[in-house]
Amino acid sequence: MGLRTVCLSSGGLDSTTALAGCVERGDMVHSLTFDYGQRHRRELEAAERIAAHYGVDHRVIAVDLRQVGGSSLTADQPVPEDRPLTEIVASIPNTYVPFRNSIFLALATAVAEVVEAESIVLGINHLDYSGYPDCRPEYLEAFQQVIRLGSRAGVEGRSPRLEAPLVHLDKGEIVREALRLGVPLGLTWSCYHGRALACGRCDSCLLRLKGFAEAGTVDPLPYEPLPARAEGSRQ
């Protein structure tokens, strides 16, 4: 028998793989997606399709982080493109949304208290990622303490456990795990743009493509043709 679990779902590769792992262990999954004023709705649509695919409860919470700004995902700033992978993993780009995971986890904790969930699962990883400070194991440990101290469930000794099953995996390992779990990869969306085809040039696309190349397989998502100057960055 699995756990009652709140699983944060962005519609992307990582969160969907984490959700599939919850389904595999028999959890009663409450899929939770945030409409936070992001650049497009493709990921919201992807998260809805994925929840339907797995037949799990799905809810969307709106929190307008455009009122905060400070990120190319919530404000009128260009998204970085064609960056070398060494640069992607070495710095915090302008796609970082200020304090986003803490805001999301606070809301996820509230939902977990209401549905009496034993676990909160998120698909973050800190090996192949864009330098976000809220994707690190030490961050999760600190937020677990916040839940223990700042929630009724925590004070009563039934604090939901934060789980990040992919946190120590690189993108190639995540793709291999997704394939093992039978994740419908063609339903996921990782691109920071919301166009008809994935761009293949933003940090998220480049890391995703790196994972598929390392796993020795082809990404089922269709991509825009690359301009000549970017040829060779896509596997």
What does each of the 235 residues of the chain score in pLDDT, given as a tens digit? 789 999 999 999 999 999 999 999 999 999 999 999 999 999 999 999 999 999 999 999 999 999 999 999 999 999 999 999 888 878 889 999 999 999 999 999 999 999 999 999 999 998 776 678 888 899 999 999 999 999 999 999 999 999 999 999 999 999 999 999 999 999 999 999 999 999 999 999 999 999 999 999 999 999 999 775 444 445 4
Would you state the torsion angle of the CA atoms of residues 38, 43, 49, 53, taken in this order, to the nearest 10 degrees? -120
> Rounded to an integer, what distance in angstroms lies between the CA atom of residue 55 and that of residue 205?
27
> Which CATH code fits 4-230?
3.40.50.620
- Residues comprising the chain, all counted: 235
Q: What is the pTM of this model?
A: 0.94
Place of tokens 């792992």: 21
Angle between helices 203-214 and 171-181 (to 10 degrees): 70
Token pair for 138: 């030490």
For the beta carbon of residue 191, count every other beta carbon within 10 angstroms: 24
